[in-house]
């Protein structure tokens, strides 16, 4: 075992202390869902907040199958190793609040849910009626979206991706926030359906990326990874630049989303 400090909590720091910085993070929802305590925070903070702790003295290293030896990946720095470990833990460990046993399972379960108008809440706001998705499913989408965003970003960081090469899952949560306040019930349900499919697409990318890393960027792994990066950089860079309804329109303009 190396002398590298994995994270403060592994050296006697309590969970409450480890999460203190995360409390200052802003909540993802800013309107009628603002009471839902899901924070726009970093990967390491969420690993500590939502998953069983990892003790390198007694637990098997999550990176063993990636070729780690004595807590380090061959040819990688301690920071890069820690980064991938957080990604793998966020992806593979059960959620403390029972949203999933494994992120992939959580995404697949979400994809099977058929949301209807009965799953929406109506609020009278002046002369208008505003709708939102019920709290349980709203938090479920938020938990999955946060984890997927963090895993994708962590993988992009590990692989040295920058700018247009990165995968923008839902910049500034513009699509997600359409579920917490909308004048149209149909628009919310359409948003939910689109997000279900986007989560499935992201899972495909995550799975192939992790498999490629396991093969230490061997030829087979890189070929599989390249096949997933079919979205042109110019198209990828345009996503997330407009307001939520416009971004949803971009997704629905794609044949696979429109057919859902």
pLDDT, tens digit (0-9, with 9 covering 90-100), for 64-107: 888 888 999 888 999 999 999 999 999 999 999 999 999 999 99
User: What does the pLDDT read at residue 11?
Assistant: 39
User: What does the pLDDT read at residue 122?
Assistant: 97
* Model pTM score: 0.79
pLDDT band at 240 (very low <50, low <70, confident <90, very high): low
Overall average pLDDT of the 2-25 stretch: 45
Q: Is residue 10 part of a domain?
A: no
Compute φ and ψ for 80, nearest 5 degrees: -65, -40
Instruction: Check whether 137 has a pLDDT greater than 60.
Output: yes
Smallest Cα–Cα separation from 36: which of 139, 123, 110? Answer: 139
Q: Is residue 3 part of a domain?
A: no
User: What does the pLDDT read at residue 229?
Assistant: 54
Q: Is residue 6 part of a domain?
A: no
Q: Is residue 7 part of a domain?
A: no
Report which of residues 212 and 233 the model is more confident about: 212
Domains held by the chain: number: 1
Q: Is residue 1 part of a domain?
A: no
Report which of residues 224 and 84 the model is more confident about: 84
Which residues have CB under 8 Å from 141's CB, separation 6+? Answer: 110, 133, 176, 179, 192, 195
Which residues have CB under 8 Å from 256's CB, separation 6+? Answer: 197, 201
User: What does the pLDDT read at residue 14?
Assistant: 42
Q: Is residue 67 part of a domain?
A: yes
Question: Percentage of residues in the chain with pLDDT exceeding 70?
Answer: 75
CB–CB of 22/44 below 8 Å? Answer: no
User: Domain span at residue 50?
Assistant: 22-258
Instruction: Check whether 181 has a pLDDT greater than 70.
Output: yes
Overall average pLDDT of the 136-148 stretch: 98
CB–CB of 182/131 below 8 Å? Answer: yes
Instruction: Check whether 16 has a pLDDT greater than 70.
Output: no
Q: Where are the alpha helices (DSSP H) in the chain?
A: 15-18, 43-50, 78-92, 103-112, 135-158, 185-214, 219-228, 233-238, 244-252, 255-258
Report which of residues 36 and 6 the model is more confident about: 36
**What distance in Å separates the CA atoms of residue 74 and residue 67, rounded to the nearest whole number?**
7
Q: Is residue 253 part of a domain?
A: yes
Name which of 101-115, 133-147, 196-210, 228-242 the model is least confident about: 228-242
User: What does the pLDDT read at residue 149?
Assistant: 98
Instruction: Check whether 218 has a pLDDT greater than 50.
Output: no
Q: Is residue 5 part of a domain?
A: no
Overall average pLDDT of the 98-119 stretch: 98
**What distance in Å separates the CA atoms of residue 56 and residue 69, rounded to the nearest whole number?**
12
Instruction: Check whether 36 has a pLDDT greater than 80.
Output: yes
Token pair belonging to 131:
């709708």
């Amino acid at each position: 075992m190396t002398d590298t400090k994995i994270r403060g909590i592994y050296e006697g720091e309590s969970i409450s202390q480890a999460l203190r910085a995360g409390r200052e993070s802003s909540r993802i929802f800013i309107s009628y869902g603002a009471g839902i305590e899901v924070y726009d925070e970093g990967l390491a903070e969420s690993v500590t907040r939502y998953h069983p702790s990892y003790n390198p003295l007694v637990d098997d290293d999550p990176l063993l199958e990636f070729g780690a030896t004595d807590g380090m990946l061959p040819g990688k720095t301690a920071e890069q190793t820690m980064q991938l470990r957080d990604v793998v833990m966020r992806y593979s460990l059960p959620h403390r609040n029972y949203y999933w046993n494994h992120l992939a399972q959580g995404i697949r379960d979400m994809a099977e849910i058929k949301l209807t108008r009965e799953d929406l809440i109506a609020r009278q706001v002046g002369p208008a009626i505003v709708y939102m998705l019920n709290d349980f499913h709203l938090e479920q989408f938020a938990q999955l979206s946060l984890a997927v965003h963090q895993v994708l970003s962590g993988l992009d960081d590990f692989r040295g991706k920058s700018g247009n090469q990165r995968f923008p899952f839902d910049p500034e949560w513009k699509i997600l926030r359409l579920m917490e306040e909308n004048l149209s019930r149909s628009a919310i349900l359409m948003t939910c359906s689109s997000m279900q499919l986007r989560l499935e697409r992201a899972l495909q990318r995550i799975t192939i990326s992790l498999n490629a890393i396991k093969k230490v960027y061997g030829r087979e792994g890189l070929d599989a990874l390249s096949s997933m990066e079919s979205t042109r950089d110019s198209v990828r860079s345009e996503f997330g630049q407009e307001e939520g309804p416009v971004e949803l329109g971009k997704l629905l303009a794609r044949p696979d989303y429109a057919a859902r």
